[in-house]
Amino acid sequence: MALPMFSLAGKVALVTGSSRGLGFGMAQGLADAGAHVVLNGRDAASIDIRVRELQSRGLAVSSAVFDVTDTGAARAAIDGIVDAHGGLHILVANAGTHHARPLADWTLEDWRRVMAANLDACFALAQHAAAPMVRQCDGRIVFTTSLTGLLGRPTIHAYAASKAALAGLTRTLAAELAPHGVTCNAIAPGYFETELSARLRQDRDMVARITARIPVGRWGVPDDLAGLAVFLASPASSYITGQQIVVDGGMGSVLF
């Protein structure tokens, strides 16, 4: 790296939900900055493709296949990473799920499934990952929240609520872990071109309305998060904690 303050050389990072989309964009950025990145997903075949892709570029990557909602498997994976690499310095808790239905069609099972993936799993991952970070007095926890945790949108009740709650968790973890050399921040993406938004992007009128509200004139792509993920994981952000940084092309900052 041209600037040592942004170097992640010698650091070990776990990025959940990194076989595709925003997770892969951030994982790739961390690996480019010098970290050994552990890619995570539920499908071993998909993860293996990504591992080989990054290894072919000479980057240090490996995999940990588990479902983030399986707390036992998640904790075992973190323990395995620490044993294999001597520590864990960066956790990007990105994996999540989505559900959109009119209010009357929602069930408590729908609500709990979204909360389990988007909030409960992030808490459990952060709790377990914090232990080695505190021991080494060096750690970065980054959550993926959402612009919809700040601005409402119909039908996505549990998704928006989970992301807003995750922003609160970011602040409480920051307050507790900062004296131990561990920071906690959140990245709140706006509208991005990913598989999660594929169905929404089939509605051309909706896409046009959303794009018209984005000052930069386009939806985000996963690589747009790479630089911020590197910054929040690096020594350059050592005095920044408890923050939620919105990456939305300016959409949430303007009225029209």
Q: Which residues are catalytic?
A: 159
Which three-class secondary structure string do you get for the chain? CCCHHHCCCCCEEEECCCCCHHHHHHHHHHHHCCCEEEEEECCHHHHHHHHHHHHCCCCCEEEEECCCCCHHHHHHHHHHHHHHHCCCCEEEECCCCCCCCCHHHCCHHHHHHHHHHHHHHHHHHHHHHHHHHHHHCCEEEEEECCHHHCCCCCCCHHHHHHHHHHHHHHHHHHHHHHHHCEEEEEEEECCECCHHHCCHHHCHHHHHHHHHCCCCCCCECHHHHHHHHHHHHCHHHCCCCCCEEEECCCHHHCCC
